[in-house]
Amino acid sequence: MAIKPLPNEKELLLEIARGDGIAFAEMFRAYHGPLIKYIYTLIESVQVCEEIVQDVFLKVWENRATLPILDKFTAYLFIVTRNYTISAIRQMAKHKKHSQLYAEEVLNLNEGEEVFNLDQEYQHILTKAIAELPPSQQRVLQLRQQGLKSREIAGEMGISIESVKKYQQWATKSVSKFLKLHTAITISIILSIN
């Protein structure tokens, strides 16, 4: 991935290191498009691409004090983007593998037995998991399901983009834990029916 550095990049990095949000926004706007294009070649999901770019720039902001000492910011940006993209690909593969294993377990029920409605049970468990979240995390997930981007969710809820990201991370972690626990219980019940 070749990203052309901005002509005023060094000045912007100094301003960002001092906590200048306007300089950070300028940097974000300049590199957002090229990063999305690069990530999309690896992950064909605009939503996942947007989330990765948000995570990349969150990391840049969190490490802003070190920005002025970087020789090549674009090389740093590429490495951070690559790492988040690889992590997302691994997570997607892991999720797909778990889903396949779960489906295989359920489909191995003997013929003639009462058929277990997997989709309905999964949806029921998912609904319970989301219902146990704090209201702000529930709202972020609802708005994300409606296709809103982090910036739009932040505007809708009157919170910062960083808060949106944190609420989504916490919600995803909580729901994943809940689903893993209850999916394992469901599989045990199904297998005991055999």
pLDDT for the residue numbered 194? 42
All structural domains of the chain, each given as residue ranges with its CATH number in brackets, are 9-86 (1.10.1740), 109-193 (1.10.10.10)
Residue 154 to residues 18, 163, 166, 171, Cα–Cα distance (Å)? 24, 8, 12, 16
**Per-residue pLDDT tens digits for 81-139:** 999 888 888 887 777 766 666 555 544 544 444 444 545 666 677 778 788 888 888 88
| Residue that the structure tokens 């002509």 belong to | 7
Check whether 148 has a pLDDT greater than 80: yes
Q: Has this prediction a pTM greater than 0.75?
A: no
DSSP 3-state of 23: helix
**Per-residue pLDDT tens digits for 181-192:** 665 544 444 444
Report how far residue 173's alpha carbon sits from residue 135's, in angstroms, rounded to the nearest whole number.
15
Q: Which two tokens stand for residue 122?
A: 């999964």
Check whether 150 has a pLDDT greater than 60: yes
pLDDT for the residue numbered 12? 92
Helix 21-40 vs helix 9-17: crossing angle, to nearest 10: 120
